[in-house]
Amino acid sequence: MSPVDSILGLKDLVVQRVERRRDIHVWARPAKRAACVHCRQAPVRIKATHQRTLKHTRQGNQVMVLHLSVPKYHCTDCNRYFRHRFAGIRPRLRATEAYRLEVFEAHEGGVSQRRLTVTHKIGSATVER
Ligand SMILES: [Zn+2]
């Protein structure tokens, strides 16, 4: 396991690329194809892949930004389409569960919203959520 894999702490992801800029950018994709969510048949074929960008966690004062390849699958068995679902990442959110928890705990621990918007680079609306 490379250091980035353990930093990432998300299961079943393959890290493809890491760039350290002002923030740490990590590109990753699923380690394996999912079984069909409808009929549980495998294998499915990849119809398309799109990318999600998520704030994941902080390393010191750097935010780790996760660029995730999300395959859209087609099940040849039941002829339906679905997207890959990741453990620890809810659909449609722009931050991972780990990141949300970090923000929540910092806020509970008395870190002000104003401070969090600086350290975690998020809007105050996100802190309230
Ligand atoms: Zn199916």
* pLDDT, tens digit, 9 for 90 and up, residues 79-122: 999 999 887 777 667 788 888 888 877 777 777 777 777 777 76
**Res 98: pLDDT:** 82
**Res 1: pLDDT:** 42
Which structural domain, as residue segments, surrounds residue 49?
3-128
Measure 97 CA to ligand 1 centroid, in angstroms.
28
Q: pLDDT, tens digit, for every residue of 14-73? A: 899 999 988 889 999 999 888 999 998 777 999 999 999 988 877 777 888 999 999 999
Measure 11 CA to ligand 1 centroid, in angstroms.
23
Residues 119/61, Cβ–Cβ less than 8 Å: yes
Measure 43 CA to ligand 1 centroid, in angstroms.
9
Quick check: 4 pLDDT over 60? no
**Res 123: pLDDT:** 65
Q: Determine the Cα–Cα distance for residues 98 and 75; give it in Å rounded to an integer.
A: 31
Q: Could you tell me the two tokens for 73?
A: 């699958």
Measure 84 CA to ligand 1 centroid, in angstroms.
13
